Each structure stands twice: as C-alpha cells, then as structure tokens.
Structure 1
Amino acid sequence: MNALPRTPAPHRPAAGPPTPGARLALEGATLGRPGHPALHGVSLEVPAGQLLTVVGPSGCGKSTLLRTFAGLLAPLGGRATADGEPVTGPAADRALVFQEDALLPWRTLRGNVELPLAVQKVTRTQRRAEAARWLGRVGLGEWAGQLPHRVSGGQRQRAQLARALAGAPRAVLMDEPFGALDVQTRAGMQDLLVEVLRDTRATVVFVTHDVDEALFLGDRVALLGEGALLGTREVPHPRDRTAREAAATRALRREVLGALTTG
C-alpha cells in the first residue's frame, strides 16, 4: 500500500520522536444532519500516512464525510475514529482546507499562516520563522506582508495550504480545494501539494469531483454514490503525471467513471 514519505513535523524538535499520521476510520457509520442522512452504513479506513481521494456526484455526501472526520458533524449512527478513539469534535491535529480559501481578511498572509502555531502556543519568534519557511515553500515569501485581497486566488490557496501544514497536523482534510481554479493553476497546485507533502507524515483525505485529479493524487480512491460508499480502489501510479495514459490508469478511470454513472 502506497504512502507518502515521512519525516518529523517541522516545528517539533528534531531530536524528538517522529509523529505519525492519524489512522482515520468510519465503522458502520450513518453520516449527515439529524433528519437528513446523506450516507448510510459506511465502513472505511484510511491508514496513517495514506492519501485517500474521494469522488462522487454533487450532493452524494463527499463533504459530509470530510466534515465527520474533522469533527464538525457527529455520526448519526456507527462511529468515526482517529487512532481508534471516537472523533468527538474538531482538534488541532486535524486540519481542514476548503474550496474557498477561508483566510482571515484582516491578517496578512504571514499572520494567517502563524495562526495555528499561535493556537499551539508556539513562541512568537518560532512561529514567525515557521510562517516564513512555509510561505517560502509555497512560493509566497515575497508576499508575506500582503493582505489576502491583494493576491490572486491561486496565491490565496497556496497560503491556505501553508497555514494548514504549518501546524504539523496529523491529518489534512481537503474539500475540493482546487475546484475554483483555472486548469493551469490547478495543475500547479496539485504538483505543489505533492511536493510539500513529501516533507510531512500527515494522512490526507482529499475530496474532488475530478476523476483525473483523484487518480493523480491518491494512493486509493473512494467512490460515493446513492447514499453509500460504493467501494475503494488502489491507484496504480499515484502522483505520477507521466502515467495518465498508462493502461492501468486508463482502465481504472473507466472503472471509476462507470461506477459513478451506475451508482
């Protein structure tokens, strides 16, 4: 089973023990809001360090699944767990990234990236250094002092990614984060995500409506439809841009599209 390379989280002491990604699971779970379930009987495990992509038609429950893992929605039945413990609410070690950049408009890009570190009570000097390092990693070093409305949508998404990863979360939950971007910017953000995740140990659940994006980024892809988890599939060539037309990738794309059409 494929997993992203793992190294210690950046702002923890190098001499300390490495922190693994979180193991996420749903056990016979019914997901949604009271009186309005979206998914029924979902059993799904995301091993530590894996990147799981989730695809399905609009309204099938993709965002509901993600928000359940984030602790924003309690299961209506069954269990949602992180490392075997029930998910009872949001936690600092599970970062959520939205399609809208969700940056605080009154804070500079640097101030936004520092925010999760401030919540963790990292010293001002250290969080300033970590924010600068992460903004540099996503190509925004020279824009650190700008307010969000002064930069492009792609740059705001880069800043949101830096903010999510600066706090060294054990799980990153991404809700169609590149869906509003143009094709070229979207491909660049996909490549950037792959690059920066090489230096983390985080487990990633990435919701998308784009099958090609799912098959490029994911170690596995989960298929949702008709109020249920239709199944999961191993991706033959994860994060390999040159494998788009490989026979195994093309076969899986046809299978996924067929499952979503009939599901």
Structure 2
Amino acid sequence: MPATAPALTGTAPTTAPPGADLHLDGVRLGRDGSPVLDGLGLRVRAGEVLAVVGPSGCGKSTLLRTLAGLLPPLAGTVRQDGREITRPDADRALVFQDDALLPWRTVRGNVELPLAIRRVPRGERRRGAEDWLARVGLAEHARRLPHQLSGGQRQRVQLARALAARPRAVLMDEPFGALDAQTRAGMQDLLVDVLAGTGATVVFVTHDVDEALFLGDRVALLGGDTVRVLDVPQPRSRAPHPARADLRRQIIDSL
C-alpha cells in the first residue's frame, strides 16, 4: 500500500513531512531487449538533493520514470521507505523540461489540479494554490492562461503545481534546460528557496555540470552500467571553491 499522504491545508505546514528514502537494488532499466542500465544500485537519502548527470542515452530520464512508478524495472527492486514502488503515487511528483501545463486552465487552476485530484475542498485548494503562487512570485498572474506567460514563468507555475500537494519526493527531468542562462540561474535560486522547509527529497536530472554542483548535495554520475556518487562541498554557493572546481573536472573528464 502507498504511504499515507500528509494532510493538506491552505498554507505551508509548520512541520514538513519527511522526505522519501529511495533505494534501487540490482536494477535493470529500459525496454525488453534494450536495457540502458543493468545492475544499478543507488540510494537517495531522505531530504537530500541528488543531481544526476551523464551522457545522452545513459538512462537518466528512464531512472526518473522508474522512481516515479511509471516504468517498471526489468530486474531488481525499487523501493520507497522499504516498500516496493509498483505504480505512481501522490508522494512522488514529476517535473519536466516541457512545462506540461493545461492550456485551457488558468495559472491558479493548473496549480490547484493535484489538490483537486486528491479531493481537497475548493476553498482550501484555492488558498493552497495562491500561497504557492506567491512563493514563486506569480501571485498577480493567477488568472492568466499559460500562453500569456514567459517560459520561465511557466516553469515557476509547474514548480508550484508540483509542490502544492506536498510530495515527499520531487523528480525533475532537466526542468530548466530550455531557459536562457539568466532565467536558468534565477530558477535555480528559486528552487533552492522554495524547497527550504519542505523536507522533500529531490532527484534532479541535468546535462549542466555547474547546475548539478550548485543544486546537488551529491552528484550521481551515470555511465555504462555503473554509477558513481560524489559528495558536493557545502554550503551551497556559486563562489569559486577549490574542491568544487576539482569535482567539476572529475565529472567533465568522465563525460
């Protein structure tokens, strides 16, 4: 049975639900006859941000879909908090590079959607959506439609929608990849800010090594049938740091 979801209210909780502990053991990922990863062992610690990098086609997006419960492993086990993941669950939210907003729903309506699916009362879900839109700086855009927003604003809406239902794990598939450099940096800062206090575990797939080193508590480097997990020097900063520069060289050399 899936874990019981935390209670929802119109404002952010005073005590955040614990992040999910995700564990892959001896996992083979991909389609029958064409696995992209085999024998994968990886643990994502509760409450951490794990950045995942690797060359194109190495299985990063497949890994996310397996953790989400959308794609069963060909072999091995995938667990959340010790329970096998066999299907999607409200505990785990997916965020894509394509914002995937419903074009006929307002910004607020899009953010309300996961709350409506969970049968949260209308007034409560409206307050929750408005609270999250304020947190991502879009309170004044609540009644607009997605096509009236910039790419960066649409990604803010997607982030608010993903977090509104208070998932215990957020699985992000290159969500800022299509943004220009300045907007991308702003979204990275926003992500760090809005995640503070949520307690959520984050698996963040990216091709950008600097993005991985800024956002990640650790970096998982995929390649072939192997995965290397590297600790990122803390605290999080964009300032030059010798250890972070050395880690950057290691990752780029491996790619």
- Is TM-score (shorter-chain normalized) higher than 0.5? yes
Alpha-carbon distance in 1 for matches of 2:30, 2:13: 42
Aligned to 2:202: 204
Aligned to 2:242: 247
Q: Counterpart of 1:254 in structure 2: which amino acid?
A: R
Change (3 A) 1:36 1:77: same
Aligned residue among 121, 133, 138 for 2:119 = 121
Query: What stretches of structure 1 of length at least 5 have no aligned partner?
Result: 1-7
Contact 2:16 2:198 in 1 (8 A): no
Aligned residue among 170, 173, 186 for 1:172 = 170
Aligned residue among 78, 84, 97 for 2:95 = 97
Structure 1 residue 240: Cα displacement: 1.4
Aligned to 1:194: 192
Aligned to 2:18: 20
Structure 1 residue 103: Cα displacement: 0.5
Change (3 A) 1:52 1:120: same
Q: Counterpart of 1:249 in structure 2: which amino acid?
A: R
Q: Counterpart of 1:195 in structure 2: which amino acid?
A: D
Contact 2:168 2:200 in 1 (8 A): yes
SS at match of 1:139: coil
Q: Percent identity?
A: 66
Contact 2:18 2:46 in 1 (8 A): yes
Structure 1 residue 36: Cα displacement: 1.7
Q: Counterpart of 2:243 in structure 1: which amino acid?
A: A
Q: What are the superposed Cα offsets for residues 58-97 of structure 1, whole Å, 9 maximum, x if unpaired?
A: 1110000011000110000001111111110110110000
Structure 1 residue 16: Cα displacement: 8.9
Aligned to 1:234: 231
Contact 2:107 2:146 in 1 (8 A): yes
Moved over 6 A (4+): 12-17
Change (3 A) 1:151 1:12: closer
Aligned to 1:152: 150
Structure 1 residue 14: Cα displacement: 8.5
SS at match of 1:241: coil
Aligned to 2:107: 109
Structure 1 residue 238: Cα displacement: 5.0
TM-score normalized by structure 1? 0.91
Alpha-carbon distance in 2 for matches of 1:209, 1:99: 12
Change (3 A) 1:86 1:12: farther
Q: How many residues align?
A: 250
